A and B are shown apart, each in its own frame.
Chain A
Amino acid sequence: MELTLWTYEGPPHVGAMRIASSMKDIHYVLHAPQGDTYADLLFTMIERRGQRPPVTYTTFQARDLGGDTAELVKKNIKEAVERFKPKTLLVGESCTAELIQDQPGALAKGMGFNMPIVNLELPAYSKKENWGASETFYQLTRTLLREKVSSSEKISPLRWKELGRRPKVNILGPSLLGFRCRDDVIEIQRILSEQGIDTNVVAPFGASPDDIERLIDAEINICLYPEIAEASCEWLKRNFGMEYTNTIPIGIKNTIEFINEVHNKLDLPLTNKEELEHKSKLPWYSKSVDSNYLTGKRVFIFGDGTHAIAAAKIAKEELGFEVVGLGTYSREMARQVRATAKDLNVEALITNNYLEVEDAMKKAAPELVLGTQMERHSAKRLGIPCSVISTPMHVQDVPARYSPQMGWEGANVIFDDWVHPLMMGLEEHLIDMFKHDFEFVDGHQSHLGHTATQTKDFLKSDEKKEKNSKEGIIWTESGRAELTKVPFFVRGKVKTNTERYAISRGIPEISDETLYDAKAYFS
């Protein structure tokens, strides 16, 4: 049993709903009690969708358990097929139905329908949402393409040359409730098209079962969100020889690397790298004088695997930050996240306990947090600016404006989204120069005013705790007096740094001198 107050992922059948709702002409019959219909509002409220998810719940009740729930399942399947006339039917169960073992998928297959039926077995007590989405997409692809496996020759990435047309690729993985997927697809399609590459199918987002059957008309697959598409890409490679890409085009370097990877696979001539770099403002904005202050800013990163890894790379290589923490809740991506963390000399945090993340964040004392909505919440409590880079989805993460994370425009969006929560460069320089001005004594506020007040409270409560703690560092009167002279907006950082310094040196009492020693040490 696991105690949870907040969770990063839903159950696996919600993952299946994400696939079904992303597609056309598909219906999902979900053997589930009435309460499970809450999941609809993820799509209608959070995504603001104007349609209900294509899901029929069997709504079994306690009194049905004594009778024949299997009959209830069949009745609902029959009604759903008659009403919605789907081209493909998904049948599965939620956690409660799994326990009563009606095997709805097998029941559906025995009903004599003239359409592909995908039997979803998603173990609700050991797996989670992303796994459920991946498995559903994989089973769907497998079911719809199974018959073509034996007749098909292996697909060469160079086939387009023989056929005398532009190369065609599939974009796999984008789905509803995925972070900014809608806009990423537009951006990536635009980039590919500029390179003379056509998009054959985007799936599951916007695809129909017919489109899935057409996947093999393309030369290669773009695995855009490995959490969802990697299993399918791997199956297509095994059975049809279709190659797929590994690079996720988030950030300038990754986008260029992605374009190169696609070009190499398709044997297209490479585009000039410098020309590509000019397609986004990020490199210049990052180089401009105003961004000088970003140098070495300490950043803590936590999110799904794909976005966390990409964020770490952008932070370090494109914005010049220091990554002081990196983690993910996607256990499926733990290996890759660990590898990235190792490169950055930090220890990867693999957990789905948000309290552990908050603790790690506190210890790392970052100046910026890049996380999920939960880290935004924790960061607010700690008085640290934060930008959201990953699911779980919140209504705020489905903005009205075009705001991809991938490609050139994605890099622009990322620059703005990550840098705006901080003070701007000129602003920070000026405040530093005028820090003794009366404007900046306690109580006066900058535009980060509310945050600063919270930091003060945070410091106060911390002081109390420390006095009572065993290993307690004591601030002497002179140390405390000097600390209050530090402008409030950097006081938290100075305090933490000084304490870190004192602990590492075994200094039990912090005086004004210790504070200056620490300042010298860290500068």
Chain B
Amino acid sequence: MSKVEFNKETGPREVFCGLTSIVWLHRRMPDAFFLVVGSRTCAHLIQSAAGVMIFAEPRFGTAILEEKDLAGLADAHEELDRVVNDLIARRPEIRTLFLVGSCPSEVIKLDLATVAEKLNKRFLGQVRFVNYSGSGIETTFTQGEDGALKALIPLMESSNEEKLLLVGTLANNVEDRFKKIFRNLGISNIESFPPRQSTELPKIGKNTKVLLTQPYLSDTVRDLKHRGCEIISAPFPLGIEGSTKWFLAAAKAFNINELKVHEIISPLINRAKLALESHKEILKGKRLFLLPESQLEISLARFLHNECEMDLIEVGTPYLNRDLMKEEINLLPDNTKIVEGQHVEKQLDRVRESNPDLVVCGMGLANPLEAEGISTKWSIEMVFSPIHGIDQAADLAGLFSKPLRRNQILTTKTLVTH
């Protein structure tokens, strides 16, 4: 292991909670609906953070707890029943309904598992109910996806068929690319989790080889292991290096010759390197500070340092699973400072002291930092944009070079006007 410096910090945070991941999960599985059982704050959060306005009728909503629901839990169950009935009558196309726990529902110990069980009996053959928690007292941002996927595992049938299972939500075009490359390598049986339809869950068993596409799926991985799946240890497919090692790890698990992998992906690598050049010109030597948010920070830091030659000041992550991140951490440069958790005020003090060229942060902090003259990149874009894979390496770099390029444009000398 490289000489990485680990630090832990506690204090006030500035991160999204797990409810926010509904925003990409509902797009991935168009036959699913996400019903948050929570407060007006939860409803306001997904509306504000996700810009619900862009959806005509979103596939997520909130059952807002009111005073009378807090008075007696039995009533809350009845109320939830009523809300679910209304919802299903209104949206008969729903096949899977996620009951999503929130901070208030967790604190009053509303038993959504029991509610889901009862509803499953009542709507048997029509709608499946699953529950998980996206609450901010337990989860940050991307961990919501971990909870949702973990909740689906008990519904997955067993099969001993040999297959490659890609785990973690990807953009459809990226997923198609990956599948094509794997088929070229000679792996033909490839499935994805989550699938594109909530009802088409892959079957799993002892010959299922799991390749993670996202680093925030600790609980999902643990449960897949319990079902006998083999977890392929690899860095994450961000950038050329991560993606190459990711393909190689998969190939090794399927006993495919390393040379074949290189033969198939080297044209892609050459093309990607060429595309990376113009971004590297801007990013090279620039100093980067990553605040914790998406849990992609370590992989991004690795890519931006190793392939774009940026200098890393600090790499924040809301939560660190050293086991899952082992391969990534090995690739980081010596003396990288990783900070798990957050004390947002102290961390911002360090940002100001270190005077970085670029800060990766959440949306609440971006404009205030810009106003202080510090360029920023929102973390949330990383989970909405197709950034995985060799073909996307330049696009990924582009997300970081763009704010810097913009600043260059805006601060260059004005045109001579007559």
Contact = CB atoms under 8 A, between A and B. Distances in A.
Given A11-B40, A126-B66, A381-B56, A1 B79 contact: yes
Interface stretch (A58-66, A314-322, A433-441): A58-66
Given A11-B44, A33-B135, A125 B39 contact: yes
A474 interface: no
A48 B364 CA distance: 10
Nearest to A29: B12
A60 B86 contact: no
Contacts of A45: 363-364, 366-367
Contacts of A52: 364-365, 368
Given A11-B41, A65-B107, A44 B363 contact: yes
A125 to B, nearest CB: 5
A56 interface: yes
A373 interface: yes
Given A33-B17, A99-B107, A1 B66 contact: yes
6 contacts: A3-B63, A4-B40, A9-B40, A50-B368, A57-B12, A374-B53
A46 B47 CA distance: 13
A83 B135 CA distance: 29
Nearest to A128: B40
B108 interface: yes
Q: DSSP majority for the B interface? A: helix
A7 B38 CA distance: 14
B53 A36 contact: no
A44 B76 contact: no
Interface residues of B, number: 62
B293 to A, nearest CB: 11
Contacts of B107: 65, 96, 99-100
B64 A4 contact: yes
B370 interface: yes
A41 interface: yes
Contacts of B72: none
Interface of B: 11-20, 39-41, 43-45, 47-49, 52-53, 56-58, 60-67, 69-70, 76, 79-80, 82-83, 86-87, 103-104, 106-108, 135-138, 140, 345, 362-368, 370-372
Contacts of B82: 1
Given A37-B364, A124-B39, A377 B65 contact: no
B366 A44 contact: yes
B49 A41 contact: yes
A1 B83 contact: yes
Contacts of B138: 61-62
A430 interface: no
Given A3-B83, A11-B39, A62-B106, A49 B49 contact: no
A50 B369 CA distance: 8
A33 B16 CA distance: 10
Contacts of B15: 34-35, 37
A79 interface: yes
Interface in A4-61: 4-7, 9-11, 13-14, 33-42, 44-46, 48-52, 56-61
Contacts of A58: 12
Given A35-B16, A52-B365, A394-B53, A95 B39 contact: yes
Nearest to A100: B107
A4 B61 contact: yes
Given A3-B62, A33-B103, A52-B364, 7 more contacts: A4-B62, A10-B44, A37-B14, A45-B363, A50-B368, A57-B13, A381-B56
Nearest to A43: B364
Contacts of B140: 34
A44 B104 contact: no
A35 B362 CA distance: 12
Contact of A44 (B11, B56, B63, B364): B364
Contacts of A48: 367
Contacts of B56: 377, 381
A30 to B, nearest CB: 10
A79 B12 CA distance: 10
Given A5-B61, A7-B40, A38-B49, A49 B367 contact: yes
A427 B417 CA distance: 39
Contacts of B61: 3-5
B328 to A, nearest CB: 24
Contacts of A76: 12
A147 interface: no
A59 B17 contact: no
B40 to A, nearest CB: 4
